[in-house]
Amino acid sequence: MIIKSLELKNYRNYDELSMNFASGTNLLYGDNAQGKTNILESIYLSATTKSHRGNKDRELIKFEENEAHIRIHFEKQGIDHQLDMHLKKNKAKGVAIDRIPIRRSSDLLGQIPVILFSPEDLKIVKSGPSERRKFLDIELSQMERLYLYQLTNYNKILVQRNNLLKQIRFQNNLIETLEAWDIQLVKYGSEVIKYREKFIKHLGEVCQKIHNKLTGGKEKILLEYDRDVGYDSYLTELAKKRQKDLKYSTTTVGPHRDDISFIVNGIDIRKYGSQGQQRTAALSLKLAQIQLMREVMKESPILLLDDVLSELDSNRKTYLLESIKDTQTIITCTGLDEFISKHLPIQRMFQIKAGK
Ligand code: ATP
Ligand code: MG
């Protein structure tokens, strides 16, 4: 799997851009605020339908313009494909692959498997559970088509149930309808839990091996699914929490409160780890994700490294670059010194200056 070219029109600070990527390591260098991350973002967006920075579509369109276009030529199993994305100010985005429109985002996810790695990701272990759930959801959605379907349904029903809980305050007889929503919620929620359970188990095994190497055998890491509720006891737990849910008008139990715990040498490093431990664990997690994606999708993902090299010490940097040797990578950085002094194998370099 490789991305051959990228074309942008009125995307962020780009009027018009066309670039051809090499199949190995591509380097985007330039001063701050020139448009390096914007390029990675446009690729990430095309692959996942969302900006990794959480922006709305309208914010991605160049100031004063009404539409933006992204075109990517990619090669998959020896066959060339073209992805087109069309962003509009007040309408939903349009996406097409080989000129055939794609209506559901689940049909797009996984077409171009990408992994983005930014300094933010190094904080995943110490940040709140919602960041870790976001990681779970994005990765699983790319790898398992059905996961997104189950998750979307779960979230929809969760919103409806919460609305109903609010209405019941004023209209007590509505309480009779709650049972039906509970059953639906548990149906989809249980599937979400099953997918997460399987994924975290697999990811944890791979992560442990990588972490062992990264720390020279000094640390043993365990990834555990810190689930809010198991699927066997889900319905009973929901019934138990009903009074509480009614009191607070919100659903207080379910996979929307899940987390992953990172246990290093018996200690939960989410709370008690040193900064270095947390960052190393985050790096192991990211590398595990690359490996897992390769295994599951039988396709090597495109790796987008935004400014992370400057955040890692030289051992970890070497390890990272060593482990991504056979992966198409696009790296951003501000200076070239360390690449030149380390003789890193860069296949193609682009200087980015004011959206050019
Ligand atoms: P850094 O090294 O600081 O991370 P960068 O090269 O990654 O910088 P980008 O995040 O890609 O920089 O952003 C480049 C510029 O794009 C910013 O100066 C920003 O003001 C501009 N920009 C962002 N959104 C838009 C938009 N919708 N229209 C026009 N310009 C925009
Ligand atoms: Mg940037």
Q: Which region among 115-119, 208-212, 300-304, 321-325 has the lowest average model confidence (pLDDT)?
A: 321-325
* pTM for this predicted structure: 0.89
Residue-wise pLDDT tens digits, 47-80: 999 999 989 999 999 999 999 999 999 999 999 9
Number of domains in the chain: 2
Domain that holds residue 151: 122-298
What is the ipTM, given to two decimal places?
0.99
* Mean pLDDT to the nearest integer, 73-93: 95
Query: Quick one: 127 and 246 in the same domain?
Result: yes
pLDDT at 343 over 70: no
Query: Quick one: 18 and 133 in the same domain?
Result: no
Query: Quick one: 325 and 280 in the same domain?
Result: no
Closest ligand 1 atom number to CA of residue 332: 7
Testing ligand 1's pocket by substitution, the residue of 38, 59, 334, 351 carrying the most ligand atoms inside 8 A of its CB is: 38
Those residues whose C-beta lies under 8 Å from the C-beta of residue 260, and which sit 6 or more positions away, are: 132, 136, 200, 223, 224, 225, 226
Tell me the pLDDT band of 124, cut-offs 50, 70 and 90: very high
Query: Quick one: 97 and 224 in the same domain?
Result: no
Alpha helix positions (H), 53-144: 57-60, 105-108, 129-143
Query: Quick one: 169 and 288 in the same domain?
Result: yes
Q: State the ligand closest to the CA atom of 35.
A: 1
Query: Quick one: 47 and 181 in the same domain?
Result: no
Residue 32 alpha carbon to ligand 2 centre in Å: 7
pLDDT at 341 over 70: no
Distance CA 352, CA 42 (A): 15
Three-state secondary structure call for residue 14: strand
User: Token digits for 58?
Assistant: 């309208």
pLDDT at site 186: 98
Inter-residue contact 206 to 291 (CB < 8 Å): yes
Q: φ and ψ at 77, to 5 degrees?
A: 45, 45
CATH of the domain at 345: 3.40.50.300
Nearest CA to ligand 1 atom 10: 37
pLDDT at site 104: 85
Query: Quick one: 288 and 306 in the same domain?
Result: no
Closest ligand 1 atom number to CA of residue 65: 28
Query: Quick one: 312 and 289 in the same domain?
Result: no
